């Protein structure tokens, strides 16, 4: 049975309404044309005037236009049939944007204003990411999580677009509240925890520096981005009319200035970096180049995501074909002699051009957005790794030899810190005939073995040594299959260095044990001699 899914089914209803509207329009146009002819000539002359017009062909042409329009809307609904696997690589970084939405962000010392420039810069920044989760936390006198950490950048952009200075009723600027709220959001995350604080730095409430020091204890790094200029600017009040600006209780205009000193201290307290946003948002670019692009890679992971195959090309091709037939089909009766295609009147040309223009507009919005993720992928993206495991295990009951499902199961178990189960799943994924999947499985197997060794390092260093040796072999196997894998190239010397250090420590420990044994044996002999004496 063919199982076709539509990613955007609302277009089907829109298409139905559009087709009905076009049918009604064509019927009314036909009647109006008949009425115009009756007023134009006597009834006994109509037969001669319309002798070469074919009503049947006109009906066929109209039908072709309606069918083509229907096919266009079916294509817009994005029909999907079948599925394929794509690689999703995560850097292991969670980035939370805390954006100041206080009234001072309406100042226009950078264009169009502080808040809009910050939103544009954040969009550009997120557009460069791949596989990192992002979240949005607006704040003013208080803070709230507007967009939880997600891999769905389209959803993040939607939340970002909704930001304005009225989104938080409580006025003021409380940087401490923003930092504490971010800390609670990132508290249970095991990835690199990064807060990007986008504000003009005017901290009117709370102790932001103390909150930053507390955040550092929980391994959160804060990057501060200053929006505005030190010289400052008046704060406009567009709702009160053009030329109205914020005033204090004494009636003096309030000038909002960028406080770089406070933002620098907050960033330094957590080992982060302060940058001014700049007139075109270049500050966030600096953070990406100098810090995030160089983030540690040992926690990077790869997994495969099952996505449906887009089939919008089929109805789109049908629409083009139908319009081609409509274009070539004459509305007049065929003549016995050879002749060139009939000359179109202005009215016919305008209708045809309108149809082609409609198709062109539809084509502009055809390219698909993000594909729908499987339930397992959705659980994984939400950080619900145990539920993701349950989904993949259930799927494996129906297809136990599916290497891709085993691969994803291993990745979910790895993120849930069940490294033993992850190792077992990645080993099963190695049975695949796909060399690319084998390379990824070896790579993730190396990661899991290294982490398992870390877990047992204090309690059983010998086991840790064995795990790290096997991890090294896994990376080497991965590089044999994929010599250009930069992550495996990075991790291999990293693990090798840790392995050599552990070997030296164990060797030193063994030597110390031997010395203690010799020392205890020497003391025993001395005691025996004393006893004989």
Whether residues 135 and 176 fall in one domain? yes
In a domain, residue 528? The reply is no
The string of pLDDT tens digits covering residues 99-150 is: 999 888 888 888 888 899 999 999 988 887 766 789 999 998 888 898 988 8
Q: Who wins on pLDDT, 181 or 170?
A: 181
pTM for this structure?
0.44
Q: Are residues 285 and 314 in the same domain?
A: no
Q: Tally the domains of the chain.
A: 3
Does residue 235 share a domain with residue 112? Answer: yes
Which residues, 6 or more positions from 93, have their beta carbon under 8 angstroms from its beta carbon? 132, 133, 191, 192, 194, 292, 295
Residue 97 sits in a domain whose CATH number is 3.40.50.410
Asked, for residue 532, whether it belongs to a domain, the answer is no
Task: Count the Cβ atoms, other than its own, within 10 Å of residue 151.
Answer: 22
Which is nearest to 277 in space by CA: 473, 391, 119, 398? Answer: 119
Q: Which residues of 232-242 are buried (b: 16+ CB within 10 A; e: fewer)?
A: bbbbbeeeeee
pLDDT exceeding 70 applies to what percent of the chain? 76
Output 244-247 pairs: Cβ under 8 A, ≥24 positions apart. Answer: 246/103
379-438 per-position pLDDT tens digit: 777 778 888 888 888 888 888 888 888 898 888 888 888 888 899 999 988 888 788 888
Residue 178: the pLDDT is: 92
pLDDT of residue 74: 93
Q: Is residue 215 part of a domain?
A: yes
From CA 409, how far away is CA 396, in angstroms rounded? 9
Same domain, 183 and 321: no
Q: Are 211 and 103 found together in one domain?
A: yes
Q: Which CATH number covers residue 436?
A: 1.25.40.10
Can you give the residue range of the structural domain that contains 71?
5-83+310-333+348-364
Of the candidates 9, 12, 75, 86, which has an alpha carbon nearest to the alpha carbon of residue 308? Answer: 86
Whether residue 206 sits in one domain with residue 321: no
């Amino acid at each position: 049975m063919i199982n076709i899914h539509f990613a955007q089914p609302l277009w089907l209803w829109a298409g139905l309404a559009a087709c009905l509207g076009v049918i009604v329009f064509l019927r009314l146009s036909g009647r109006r044309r008949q009425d115009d002819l009756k007023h134009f000539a006597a009834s006994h002359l109509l037969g001669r005037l319309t002798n070469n017009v074919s009503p049947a062909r006109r009906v066929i042409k109209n039908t072709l236009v309606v069918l083509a329009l229907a096919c266009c809307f079916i294509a817009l609904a994005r029909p999907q049939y079948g599925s394929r696997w794509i690689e999703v690589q995560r850097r292991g970084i969670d980035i939370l944007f805390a954006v100041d939405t206080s009234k001072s962000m309406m100042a226009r010392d950078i264009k169009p204003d502080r808040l809009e420039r910050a939103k544009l810069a954040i969009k550009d920044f997120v557009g460069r990411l791949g596989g990192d989760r992002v979240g949005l936390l607006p704040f003013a006198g208080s803070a709230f999580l507007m967009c939880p950490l997600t891999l769905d950048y389209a959803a993040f952009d939607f939340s970002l677009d909704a930001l304005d200075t009225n989104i938080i009723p409580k006025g003021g600027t409380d940087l401490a509240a923003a930092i504490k709220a971010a800390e609670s959001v990132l508290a249970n995350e095991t990835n690199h925890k990064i807060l990007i604080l986008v504000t003009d730095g005017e901290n009117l409430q709370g102790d932001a520096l103390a909150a930053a020091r507390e955040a550092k204890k929980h391994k959160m790094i804060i990057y501060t981005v200053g929006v505005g200029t030190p010289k400052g600017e008046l704060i406009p009040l567009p709702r009160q009319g053009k030329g109205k600006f914020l005033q204090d209780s004494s009636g003096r205009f309030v000038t909002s200035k960028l406080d770089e000193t406070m933002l620098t201290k907050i960033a330094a307290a957590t080992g982060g970096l302060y940058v001014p946003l700049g007139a075109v948002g270049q500050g966030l670019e600096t953070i990406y180049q100098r810090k995030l692009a160089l983030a540690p890679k040992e926690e990077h992971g790869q997994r495969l995501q099952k996505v449906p195959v887009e089939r919008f090309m089929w109805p789109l091709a049908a629409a083009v074909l139908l319009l081609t037939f409509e274009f070539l089909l004459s509305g007049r009766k065929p003549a016995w002699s050879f002749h060139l295609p009939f000359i179109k009147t202005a009215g016919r040309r305008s209708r045809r051009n309108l149809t082609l223009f409609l198709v062109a507009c539809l084509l502009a919005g055809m390219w698909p957005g993000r594909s729908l993720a499987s339930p397992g992928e959705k659980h994984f993206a939400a950080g619900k790794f145990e539920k993701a495991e349950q989904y993949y295990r259930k799927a494996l009951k129906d297809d136990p030899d599916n290497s891709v499902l085993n691969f994803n199961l291993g990745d979910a178990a790895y993120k849930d810190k069940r490294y033993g189960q992850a190792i077992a799943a990645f080993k099963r994924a190695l049975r695949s005939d796909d060399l690319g999947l084998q390379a990824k499985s070896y790579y993730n197997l190396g990661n899991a073995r290294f982490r398992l060794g870390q877990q047992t390092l204090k309690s059983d260093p010998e086991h840790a040594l064995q795990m790290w040796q096997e991890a090294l072999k896994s990376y080497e196997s991965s590089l044999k299959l994929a010599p250009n894998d930069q992550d495996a190239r990075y991790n291999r010397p990293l693990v090798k260095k840790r392995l050599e250090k552990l070997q030296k420590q164990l060797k030193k420990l063994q030597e110390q044990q031997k010395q203690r044994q010799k020392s205890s044996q020497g003391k025993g002999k001395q005691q025996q001699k004393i006893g004989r004496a």
